[in-house]
Chain A
Amino acid sequence: MAAQQSQYYELYRGSTIGDCLIDTIDELINDSRIEPQLAMKILSNFDKTIADVLAEKVKARLTFKGHLETYRFCDDVWTFLVKDVKFKTDTSTEFTADKVKIVSCNSKRPGEV
């Protein structure tokens, strides 16, 4: 599990919350309020925190079906481009999307770097 490892994926930096954090940090750096080194530390804190929170706090389940257009597996990262996706949550809420890109890292990372 990612939360138990010493290294964390930077994957979630591309999420909305990560995006917002990056924008904010950029602004602070432009204002010369923080140094880029500190910014990198904040981001690594974010990597750890979001992995922990998603693992511990979130209990929701999600199932989805769709048309796989592209798949790719490289360096232990799966990338899928799925079309006409139907999502279904565990509370039977359903929603659809024309196109979804899934970027997925291995949950079991080898212990050594």
Chain B
Amino acid sequence: MSKSSVPDVYAKVIKDVCEASRVDFEEGGVDLNALEMLKQGWQKRLSAEHIATFPWDPKPEPASKPEPTPVSSSAKPVHTLPSNGATNTPPSSTSTPGPHVKQETQQYATQPPLQANHAGKRYSPTQPVGGAERAASLLQQQYGEQAAAQVAQLQQQNQSVVAPAAFAGSQRQQTPYELQLQQQQQRQQQLEYQRRIQQEYQQRQQQPHQPHIKQEFKEEAKEEFKHEDSTYGYPQSYNVNTIKNSQVDGPADAREEYEAEIAHRRTLVAQHRPASDRLIRDQVLASQQTLEAGGLMMPLGSHRSSRSKRTVAQRQAASSSLSRAQGDAPGDEEEDEDAINSDLDDPDELDGANEGDDDVTNVMLCTYDKVQRVKNKWKCTLKDGVLKVDGAEFVFHKGQGEFEW
């Protein structure tokens, strides 16, 4: 019976406290949203204790669910994308991105220079283009005009494999400068091509609704580019840079959002850590200790939490210095700490009893009307109690206790 009234009582307490605090919030110029947060946080925590079923319980349940979104979202978009196939694993760069490449090349086949360039590159020798270029420029530097013919030959050999279409009509020998220009052009075309692929991906990325898909796409796209790089014989870093440069607009948003969300959650986690600053709790614990360990029952008006904090600090300082001065065996120190504390602040027997109290989780907080003792029989008349026993909570207006000592 008393148990069933717990939710009502607690609901009323929360409501009344929030109402009473509203004035304080307004007087302090604090946003009333904070009060609402206080109320909801309080209710949520109380629900998490599983003491009873509270009137507000159905509400906060769904709100607490979307916590693990980062995990689930990575799995979701896989099914929504036809191009991703049925693979749940991250793209491995060899198998999955295949269809993308094919599509792109078909699409851009209508552009002759690009296609020629692209097709030529596919059959380029494994030696990097930069090497041939360097060889040519070295020859040019060392032998000047004399080596022009050889340089041209070298370049032509290279270029005829790289881009046969571009050289089909030209029989004349080209100067190294021209060749370099041409190579630059090719490189720009390459850049252009990659940029278009990038845009294509961006467009496709914008179609699905979930923002997380974008990221997957982007990663896949990167993988593809890397894959293509290796066939082209370009150093990978070169292409990575071009991708970054061309990625001016659009797709980074999803990532930023995602990262912002992650960062936000991390800060939240950090804040919720019990190790984080626990001002009020410490204060209350300190005052509780004073209450139970023989301190005065201080009214709110003369609340002196700083004093109790200071005594704790003093105790620790005193105990450490004392133990050092006494030269006790190191093994005794921990036990001594409390003993010394009690010497300083508390009666001995209280301290010993306190240690026994610490592991008690079943607590009754109440007021007493009368406490009587006849020999070893005790009778207590208690009032206005809150009792917590094995995770269950009870409230009572009147309580009668009988003990044998």
A residues bordering B, Cβ < 8 Å? 2, 7-18, 20-31, 33-55, 57-82, 85, 87, 89-91, 93, 95, 97-108, 113
Contacts and interface: CB of A to CB of B under 8 A. Distances in A.
Contact of A33 (B31, B302, B366, B386): B31
Interface in B372-405: 378, 380, 382-390, 392-405
A51 B20 CA distance: 14
B393 A16 contact: yes
Nearest to B291: A77
Given A21-B17, A54-B397, A58-B397, 20 more contacts: A10-B303, A17-B13, A23-B45, A23-B281, A26-B281, A29-B279, A30-B271, A54-B386, A58-B2, A60-B2, A62-B399, A81-B360, A98-B362, A99-B362, A100-B389, A101-B363, A102-B380, A102-B401, A104-B368, A107-B383
Contacts of B301: 7, 113
Contacts of A82: 401, 403
Given A61-B396, A81-B357, A52 B276 contact: no
B363 A103 contact: yes
B291 A78 contact: no
A106 B368 contact: yes
B288 interface: yes
B51 A61 contact: no
A30 B277 contact: yes
Contact of B17 (A14, A36, A42, A54): A42
B337 to A, nearest CB: 22
B17 A46 contact: yes
Contact of A68 (B8, B302, B397, B405): B405
Interface in B319-367: 350, 353, 356-357, 360, 362-367
A48 B280 CA distance: 18
Nearest to A50: B13
Given A16-B49, A77-B292, A25 B38 contact: yes
B53 interface: no
A107 B384 contact: yes
Contacts of A104: 364-368, 371, 380, 382
Nearest to B391: A16
Contacts of A93: 1, 3
Interface stretch (B22-30, B112-120, B230-238): B22-30
B16 interface: yes
Contacts of B357: 70, 79, 81, 101
5 contacts: A49-B16, A57-B9, A66-B401, A95-B389, A113-B299
